[in-house]
Amino acid sequence: MGLGSESVLDGIVHVGLHGALPDFYPMVVEIQAATATRRPNGEVVETWATVIVAHGNLARTYQNDGEARSMDMTRVPTVRVLNLSGYYPEVTVEHRAYIDNLAWNISAVAHDSLGGSTRLELERVEH
């Protein structure tokens, strides 16, 4: 999977780096999936459940995606990048990231060329 997960990388990286991994990925991140259910009146209710717990590093980007306008409001999404310490091919834009009691929509998923890490682009949408 990634550095520190008994992969090939572990044999070519200095042993001291393994002890420093928590410094690179200091936060615990929950990746959640939604399950839709219907109430007796037909209303659809989404329930989110944690499917993956990983360590990550959240960073702010300076990319300006502009404004999203609707009839009653204009919003500017808060964009962040989350690097996960591991390869998680099952994470998609249908999931969300839950970090420090805040839910973030996943707008893009990318993996490094060696399959050792996962990068998520997140946006915080206020409802």
- pTM value surpassing 0.75: no
* Domains of the chain in sequence order: 9-124 (2.40.10.270)
- pLDDT of 12: 64
- pLDDT of 88: 94
Q: Which residue has the tokens 């890490």?
A: 117
Task: Determine contact, residues 89/109, Cβ cutoff 8 Å.
Answer: no
Helix (H) or strand (E) holding 19: helix 15-24
pLDDT, tens digit (0-9, with 9 covering 90-100), for 69-106:
777 766 666 688 999 988 999 999 999 999 999 999 99
16-30 mean pLDDT: 76
Asked if residue 1 has pLDDT above 60, the reply is no
- Residue 9: which pLDDT band, with cuts at 50, 70 and 90? low
Q: How far apart are CA 97 and CA 103, in angstroms?
A: 6
Task: Determine contact, residues 97/107, Cβ cutoff 8 Å.
Answer: no
- Which range has highest mean pLDDT (48-52, 56-60, 100-104, 115-119)? 48-52
